[in-house]
Amino acid sequence: MFNLQNKNVVVTGAGSGIGKSVALLFAQQGAIVHVLDVNEKQAGEAVTEITAAGGKASAHIADVSDQKKVLEIFQQIVQPDILVNSAGISHIGKADTTSTEDFDRLFNVNVKGLYNCLYAAIPLMKKNKGGVILNMSSIAAIVGIPDRFAYSMTKGAVSAMTLSVAKDYLADNIRCNCISPARVHTAFVDGFLAKNYPGKEAEMFEKLSKTQPIGRMATPGEIAHLILYLCSDEASFITGCDYPIDGGFTKLNN
């Protein structure tokens, strides 16, 4: 099950966090993984880890908000079978405390960056008679999250773009879905706590973990396994869907 043998897979933001877990897991399933990340060192480390385990991978360095560079990279890949849009950034702030610069920065990466990858990948998938796209949305697109104004805006756009792509390319045998995680324990979380709550990291980590009814944050690996299913042939009847993976956050948090 979930065999990706010799499928060309592009994972954006694959140098760390969820994207890296996806890249490692897909490589274990036989995929040829193209690690696309803005951080050259982290991208290289991910490729090294994959190849050391006997997998196939290559690193591609780009800021997804740079359409020209993204197009160049996808032309090198030629026939992408699967695209996982995992690259993204976050921001803390309300509508009246979010600067124009921060708003534009989040839009450029989380919305325009995703669009750039779609723009580059879809013509190649059409030429290849099909493909699968998985976008990273968030529970912030479903429920109100305090102090996440710009981030929520971008994830709402991701969910809407997912529906549009799924509808527009049905006849081209291209499936498109998104997932909406709640809090996931990544290096970003640890860095956020260290910066904003020095000396109280453990206390705040516990507090944030308890906001999920299940009582903890997700691991990147748990998110990666849902992505693997949705990108596999076993999920061939699924398109235009959003899957919350949130420890009960959106339905049980009352």
* Residue of 115, 151, 169, 243 with catalytic role: 151
Identify whether 151 is a catalytic site residue: yes
Give the angle subtended at the CA of 178 by the CAs of 156 and 241, to the nearest 5°.
Answer: 100
Q: Are 205 and 163 in contact (CB under 8 A)?
A: no
Reduced to 3 states (helix: H, G, I; strand: E, B; else coil), residue 39 is: coil
Sign of CA dihedral 112, 228, 232, 234: negative
Burial degree of 127 (CB within 10 A; 0-12, 13-18, 19+): exposed
Q: Are 194 and 234 in contact (CB under 8 A)?
A: no
Tokens of 237: 């009847």
Active site residues: 151
